[in-house]
Amino acid sequence: MSFGRLERSQAAQPISEINVTPLVDVMLVLLVIFILTAPLLASSIKLDLPKSAAAQPGEAPRALTLVVDRTGQIFLADQPIAPEQLAQALRQTAQAKPDTELRLRADAQVPYGRIVEVMGLAHQAGLNRIGFVTDPTAPVKP
């Protein structure tokens, strides 16, 4: 007995799977936007610079290598040199190119005082850019 009610058929079951189509659509739109805007971000202001014969590209800063071996002997450009001659050579280099970088390679056994003497000669000559060359593969001792 149904008491006036109509019988219902089975209703369609809801889909329990995630629909990835909208997600793919959004991702493709974002990909297109990034592809179009990436070249615009990489380039800065576009300029048409004037031409001039006086404008020459700047040279890279010059570097001078100074080596102090285990015995305290000083080498400039792989040639042994006395401290007096070193002071003169550094003075000439500083007058010719004041932005020259002095790369100091010293043995680990050289006393600190000897390194300070060499740095003092370079500073008096007018070379203020001093870099210390180290071995990156050496393990650090605690």
- The enclosing domain of 103 has a CATH number of 3.30.420.270
Average pLDDT over residues 70-89: 88
Q: What is the pLDDT, as a whole number, of residue 29?
A: 95
Q: How many domains does the chain have?
A: 1
How does the average pLDDT of the chain come out, rounded? 80
CA nearest to 88, candidates 37, 127, 58: 127
Domain of residue 93, residue span? 63-132
How much is the pTM? 0.53
Distance CA 73, CA 124 (A): 20
Tell me the two tokens of residue 94.
């500083």
Q: Is residue 12 part of a domain?
A: no
For residue 22, the 8-state DSSP code is: H
